[in-house]
Structure 1
Amino acid sequence: MKHIKEHFIQTHQSQPELLGLIAIENSFAYSPLTEGLDLLLLAIVEQPAVQSIEHVRIEGKHVLIRSVSVGQLEQWMASGENKSIIQWIVRGEILLERDSRISDIRERIIQFPDVMREQKRFVEFSGFLRSYLQAKHDYEGRNILDAYSNILTALHHWAHIVLIEEGQHPELTVWRQMRRVHPGVYKLYEELTVSPETLEQRVQLVMLACEFTVINKMKDCCSLLFNIMMSREEPWSISELQEHERIKALHVDLSLLLQRLVKRSLIREVAVMAASGDTEALELRYMTLAV
């Protein structure tokens, strides 16, 4: 593998747009971390290449070369869209680097600053809320298997929130982490998946626990949104919030979050005259109670 890495160092070091090259080796018969190939090369560039992904074979080894811009990398880290990106950067071997950009990104991930935690917690809570409410809807409709599937997803998001609050990045093997970090949530996972009770009883038990968590964690997990809304006195439209620089790259269900925050009396809904001048359909805007 050493010769293969040296080959790609030679072929990439002359590329002026390249900021860094990271190598992740596959130590298993199949590893989702390297997407099933023997070696993954992450080429980080200022601007994305025309072809962002490539499979090649060299010396009998299958190699995946993935090119990604710094902007896309930052978006992945904030949104959690790419579950492997944190492991790629932290565990990967830096083969090439210019101006310490990659080392700086790695150090920031390891430090896990409050700004990054706040974003990731917000994203995970959005997923948690959506999955929990869908499970509740399925349960009330007597679609127990669907309710089970969605409440299990909600439990995964809950586990991620707990890990983020502990200053840890959720790994691909999240339940092994949870067994060490938070035995209580891990116990709920066991109750849902291996308890001798009926499936309906298991789903109902975890749904009750999730309902309690929604109530207790909503304010803290939505601190990113509160801080944005408190940055001015005027109420915000949903489009303004959606396009805010700290939210627009995140995959969150903002409409659902706003409505639940209103129902919990954590923010206020204000009806104003729409820009179109339509006096029948008033535009809804949102503001914090502190304003």
Structure 2
Amino acid sequence: MSNLYANNFFGGMIMEDALRPIYQERASHKDTLGVLMIEKKQKAIPTTDTFDKVLLIIVKSADMPVFIKHYTFEEKKAAMHIVTQKQLNEWLLLGSNRKVVEWIFDGKVLFDRNEYIHNLKNELREFPFSGRKIKMGLEFAKLIRRYMDGKSFFNNQHYLDAYNHVVHSLHHLARLAVIENGFHPEVTVWNQVKQIDPEIFKLYEELVNSEETLEKRLELLFLASDFLIYSKTNLGTSHLLEILREKTYWSFSDIMEHQELAGYSVDLGVLLEYLIEKNIIEVVNKETKGQGIFHRYYKVAEKLL
């Protein structure tokens, strides 16, 4: 065993020993569902936010949905994240904390009440289609928001702002492709997409690496990606349209208040306008007391009912 490997190995073990009383005390609480330890693997990949070790403690409920504490041991540092089950489920659904999927898959299980962690890993691994459908809907909504904003900035010759939004839209398109293929998007999503959907990867490469002017790069990307994004529309709107078919027509506030659609949030308005433009959603106008003013409602297009 080399000296460097020995130092890393035994240093890691000693630090784990030092953290044991902390996580054992937490594991003794009746509300604690599971405890995972995640180790920093590569300096270049920020899975642990530069910490040598991360303790992820999942609890049924707590006063705060997330509580984080930092520790120092000799020349190393550790972080403890206490997360409620509800917050964890929200992260997994919305994809708003991508690291947590890797933490659950790669973390060392230190405590597992009634096989909670075991079952959670199996659920993530199997990734049932119902869960994928919701996640694809949320990613598609984010994709359309960023893409439409990017186009607007481009048309107004704000090319740097357009570039920023387009890069984000391609990230959402990449994540959508990964989910479509039954995988959870990882922190290194472009490594996944390179294997899963080379066409999207090529678009991204051409945008960031081309020697064309920024204006020309953006112009070419909009031409190339319009059809590609439209081709994902049936997939990306399946969840939303399934809900909207439950009623003849909806007000915007009714859509926003639906429990399963809350995650669409600020992206919903732009998504509806995109779907109206593509003849997937129809506008229903209802008279108000004001002359010439109508209430605006939304319904799934007749051809899709």
> How does the TM-score come out when normalised to structure 1?
0.91
Q: Partner amino acid for 1:144?
A: Y
CA distance in 2, matches of 1:267, 1:178: 30
The answer as to 2:269 corresponding to 1:255 is yes
* 2:297 aligned partner: 285
The answer as to 2:171 corresponding to 1:159 is no
Q: Partner amino acid for 1:286?
A: Y
* 2:47 aligned partner: 33
Does the aligned pair in 2 maintain the 1:30–1:36 contact within 8 Å?
A: no
Q: Partner amino acid for 2:175?
A: H
Does the aligned pair in 2 maintain the 1:126–1:252 contact within 8 Å?
A: no
Q: Which runs of 5+ in 2 are unaligned?
A: 1-12
- Residues 118, 219 of structure 1: CA spacing in aligned structure 2 closer, same or farther, 3 A cutoff? same
SS at match of 1:99: helix
CA distance in 2, matches of 1:63, 1:263: 50
SS at match of 1:34: coil
* 2:115 aligned partner: 100
Q: Partner amino acid for 1:70?
A: Q
CA distance in 2, matches of 1:106, 1:166: 18
Does the aligned pair in 2 maintain the 1:37–1:62 contact within 8 Å?
A: yes
* 1:19 aligned partner: 33
> How many equivalent pairs are there?
288
CA distance in 2, matches of 1:126, 1:180: 24
Q: Partner amino acid for 1:180?
A: Q
| Paired-residue identity, % | 32
Residue by residue over 1:17-59, the C-alpha shift from the partner in whole angstroms, topping out at 9 and shown as x without a partner, is: 1111111111234652212211111111111344711112245
Shifted more, 99-108 versus 27-36: the winner is 27-36
Does the aligned pair in 2 maintain the 1:127–1:154 contact within 8 Å?
A: yes
CA distance in 2, matches of 1:251, 1:69: 22
* 2:138 aligned partner: 123
Does the aligned pair in 1 maintain the 2:37–2:110 contact within 8 Å?
A: yes
The answer as to 2:59 corresponding to 1:45 is yes
Shifted more, 177-186 versus 4-13: the winner is 4-13
CA distance in 2, matches of 1:251, 1:42: 28
- Residues 143, 250 of structure 1: CA spacing in aligned structure 2 closer, same or farther, 3 A cutoff? closer
Shifted more, 17-26 versus 238-247: the winner is 238-247
Q: Which runs of 5+ in 1 are unaligned?
A: none
CA distance in 2, matches of 1:158, 1:249: 18
The answer as to 2:251 corresponding to 1:240 is no
Does the aligned pair in 2 maintain the 1:229–1:235 contact within 8 Å?
A: yes
Equivalences for residues 47-66 of structure 1 within 5 A: 47-50=61-64, 52-58=67-73, 60-66=75-81
Shift in Å, 1:213: 2.4
Root-mean-square deviation (CA), in Å? 2.1
Shift in Å, 1:109: 0.9
Q: Extract structure 1 runs of 4+ deviating beyond 6 A.
A: none
Residue by residue over 1:120-144, the C-alpha shift from the partner in whole angstroms, topping out at 9 and shown as x without a partner, is: 1111111111111111111111122
Q: Partner amino acid for 2:146?
A: S
Shift in Å, 1:68: 1.1
Does the aligned pair in 2 maintain the 1:89–1:106 contact within 8 Å?
A: yes
Of 73, 79, 86, the residue aligned with 2:94 is 79
